[in-house]
Structure 1
Amino acid sequence: MSGSSATPASAPGGASSRPRRVLRGATGILRSLFRPMRLLLGLSVLAVVVLGFLGWCLIRIPVGGGMAPEASPASLILEARDGAAFAARGSLHGDPIQPEAIPKPLMDAVVAIEDRRFFDHKGIDLRGLARAMFRNVFTSRTEGASTITQQLARLLYLSQERSLVRKTQEAMLALWLETRLSKEEILARYLNAAYFGAGATGADAAARRYFGKPAGELTLGEAAMLAGLVRAPSALAPTRNPEGAWRRAEVVLSVLEETGRADTTQLAAARAAPPALRTPPEMQPGRGYIADWVEAEARRLVGPIPIDLAVRSTLDPALQDLAERVVARWLEREGARQKVGQAALMAITHDGAVLAAVGGRDYAASQFNRVTQARRQPGSLFKLFTYAAALENGARPDSTVVDRPVQIGDWSPGNASGGYRGAMTLRQAFAGSVNTVAVQLFQSLGRERVLDVARRMGLRSTMPEVPSVALGSGEATLLEMVAAFASIPGNRAVEPYVVRGVRARDRTLYARPEGPQAGPQVLSPTAQQGMLDLLLSVVRDGTGRAARLDRPVAGKTGTSQDNRDAWFIGMTADVIVGVWVGNDDNSPMQGVTGGSLPARIWHDFVDEADRAKTAEAPLPTQAPATTAETPRQVAPLRGPARVIDTATLRIGDRAVQLTGVVGMRGEYAESMESFIAGRDVTCEPLGDGAHRCAVGGRDLSEVVLSNGGGRAAADASPALRANEAAARRERLGIWRR
């Protein structure tokens, strides 16, 4: 026993500790095996999620996209009677830019500012993304990271929402587009699909909208301005924000310099001469009423044609501005005191051309046109028809009538004066707007005879079958009442119109015939002369005295029951003007009659128009005797022109030679014909057979030479030679060979 030894169970390193060590070792081995398995499992799950997300994005991409958009109604550029544009309606589309004919200045500007590595990447630019992130974080310049291909994918297929799904779909489509289309095809489609503000979709539409020229004629400065609009077209549209548009264009020019896409001379020229807009600023609010009217009438005349159109209207901008000022001035002065909320004014020529139309107090607040849409009680204006029927039936202005009480059933009309004056002439009754005489005449003539005369004179509204219709208790628009009064001077029905012509760039779609329209007489000659006598007496001696001018004025006042409507329609030798005032809710005004506020608005409008016309007229001078040394003054030529060559036009039977141009035939003459597109050309003689000709405000000699449509003649001015030099540098027209 003493020679034997034993190891206690608790001794370190004993047999009982071995299983623990084995267990710990096995656990460590298992952990080392499971660690990569967990990583692999996590990566697998992530891959499934990513692939699932990508698959979800892929199947949610719209099938067909926007490659074949639905045809939209014709977009319209609305022009005043002098050819100056005053509004654009609808989305302009212009001509598609072809991949092989992308204008170089536009290509350089758009690529420089939107995607400078466009020709190097495959749809997604990782280097550009990193550069944009750096500049957005560390500099004041904000830069986007979407390539032109990605932007095209969004324009053609996707919405503008900002989401991970949309950005992923955009990248997928960009990679797909790069496999299907060349870089030139991608850029051309992008330029044709992008929105440039002011209703212009596509670069060609924008060039025509802002600069009055196709995209192929853009200068570097103009191209830089268009390129700068893409990111914020509504905010930077030069018709709304010319300063902001030019500041953005300067950024584009700086990037062009930075990337070497334009030389120093080109950049200096572009910076020295900011682009001049060939269209007016954004439409003035007051012109919205007549713009709506012109647009609706043009679409009615030509139908749903999905091409860009120009509409020549009858609008006289100076008279329109004057009408808006006069209406606003009187409403501001008297509106609150006399409880007048609205007014409308319409001025037309004797053949019906609408020169000015104010449809309400504030177009921004209400687009309801109170000239064409508001149906109001004409009050005593309706007496025009009753008295015209009486004159046709044999009455004369000096015929005797009696102002006395009248009872028709339970209705007994009274006079504004509250009493009766007994015997008087028809002229006195009309001038004083005596109600009882008008009702007696209406009853004796019969409803149908009076309404027949009204329809011949232009009244289209249906009148109620009540006795009070004799005093204008029916409803009519200012438009039709002015038309009815306009029928008196010429004794022909007058249809007011706002559109003179509609044209596409290559052809005329509608042209209103010149001169007064033929038609039957609305009244017998005797009745017509008698009616003029009565209308003159209203302004001379009657209720319309507030409208008197220092020349003859004929007209009529109208006031409906409780002073809810007040009218004055008057005419001079060259214009017919109607004025209505009232409230949209038909609430009464405070003592307003046709002879008060409406007549005063009418007076101020016509009087100020007369004064402006007198101020613009040249002072008469004694003409010098014509001698061999003093050539006879030759009036400018104006009219549609036929192109013989790019330096020779034919206007009527006259051949006209453009100054400073050696002309070309063939395709260049055809292009010039398309540019003129049926518009009137004005040619001022300069002597020696040369003329300075213009269309739409553009000098034709400059147009020809700046587009390479001809060569500068020996007598060309320095400015024309500079246009030729610019075309040479850009290799345009005859210089492209």
Structure 2
Amino acid sequence: MTTQSGRDWLDLASPNLAGPDLPGSRPAPSRFSTAQREVSDRLARVRTGAAGAARAVLSPVMAAAAVPMRRVAPAWQGAAARVGAHPLAARAAGAAQRASTLPWARVLVLAALGAAALAALFLIWCAATLPPLSGPASVTRTLTVQAEDGTPIARRGTTRGRNLPADAVAPAMRAAFLSAQDPWFEDGYRLDAAGIAAVIGQAFRDTISDGPRRGSPRLTQRLVRRDLIGAPPGAPRSLADRVREAMLVLRLQAGEDRARILARALDLARFGPGLIGIDAAARTLFGKEAAALGTAEAAYLAALARAPGLQPDRDVTAIRALARDVLDGMVMRGDLSAAKAAEAGRSLDGIAPVWTTPVTRSGFPDLVLAEAADRLGPDLPQDATIRTTLDRDLQAMAEAAAERRLEAAGRGGARASLLILGPDGSVRAAVAGGTPLPDTPKARRAASASLRHLGRDGRPVYDRLVAGPVPEAERRTALLALLAGLARPPAGAEDAASRDGLFVGTIGDLLAGTTVSSAAAENGAGDGPEALFQDVAAQWAKAHPAPEPREARESARETGSMPRGTARPAWQNPGERAAPVLHGVPRVIDTGRLRLDGQALRLVGVEGQGGSYAREFRQYLRRREVTCQPAGGPDLYRCRAGDQDLSEVVLFNGAGRATPGASPELQAAEANAKARKAGVWQ
């Protein structure tokens, strides 16, 4: 084998592969012509010249850069010597030397194979640690809150119901649950390459959209993320949790039909803190089987499942507001007619869990439970009893007095609140006219003073039979702060702008505060707050007669007149209020009705349609702000999205019919839809 002159590769085209010293060997003729060799020699000279020029330019630069390096060279040499003497450095040097002998392409291939192996191991580990489809194991716990005499006033804890097939749940409950969780769950869905990519993309998003589906069904994703993996809404999730979510969603979508997925979601849904499954929710909250639930009860439970942080027997007003949204969604899906939805909405006003009382709605038991949990530690016992300072007799007097005030006002949105504190700042009676007691430092101090006995699994943990008195000024400040929370109108209340009258006085050694909304005073409730206080004080004086006439006269003076320094509230009639202009992002009930700012309104000139037309209208209005102006009727509005009149948009698309007496513009839009045979005119 020979080499060409001036070349650095072997001439493999030579027919004689014998060495030059072997017999019969001869030089092989060259494949390159003289011109080709000249070109090659010129290129070699050019490369040599360029290298020389580069050295001439870079040599001064490198010399200048080397000056500061020489100053620190001794320190670097010492550090390098110490690092090089370490055994790990020797191993790393050997590995680097071995890697340097490999071609770069082979190194890159090996690196890619190593990364793929690590990714495969990570996926295998995620698959091996998937949570079971039956959901996490739960331990039944019972926490009982008692009054001062040991009578239960509230129960909390953890309860999980039986697993039920889909046909063992009332159809209204299934429809309400889908309306709250995923109105598009029953639409067509294919688990092809695009569907798999959508599932993975949704798993890596931090929020689950409520709009029309663009990826996996929302119900399946909520089931996996919230109930199987147990990720709280808004909490940070690890990469492993996101991968597990994608795996479980794909597994459920590929291996189970929709009825089974719906049944699994109902069995694992949380209907309030510690209440798991539709079976436990129906029996605990309404005392009936899941198959016997009515439409209003189903809407109430579906609203709870959508907001499981709400307490069923405390946040009743907020849950009812969410339940009305669920009913609107059922109309939009076509599961419920508008008339039946209106009937169920009226029934919601009288629906509440069986344990609901004015005490539970005040939030007082939950404040005491939060204080007791700090003493019990992170591991709650299976059975605990908490005894409080609540006086059942005084509480009954307060509830009866508030009912009498509201009856005198004719209801009509009136609210009455009452709070009575003992000498030590503990709560003796509470009636909420608005929202529950907020969890504030003052409320926590009142809850701590109200905690008298704590028992854990039959053993006493804490006893506080005697508490020191609190200065009157401090007690009055705490009373006013707590009473402001009890009197605050709930979200979506129609009387949110009304004023509350306030009265504070003493009943013996107790400090009482009352509020009555201005609507009650306007409707003939008398001097509301003071009258409510006098009612309770009179009942208390009758039940606790003074032992001596002198003390009785002092008690009558205290309860029969206003405290010194307290001004009588001035009442004013606000007059007739004009319907306000509404702004915001609406919810679609049907193509002729919207819900905006908690108020149901009708689009002027439109007879709406439900079903697919309502779903399309909801998708059209998704996240768009509208402005609605009163149009003459009590709930009749002309709404616009930008420059578009929504009534005209609905009629132009054939999603509704024009009402008799509609404006010429709306009649023209309907005629256009008829000519095109659009929507209902097909």
Q: TM-score range by the shorter chain?
A: 0.3 to 0.5
Q: TM-score, normalised by structure 1?
A: 0.35
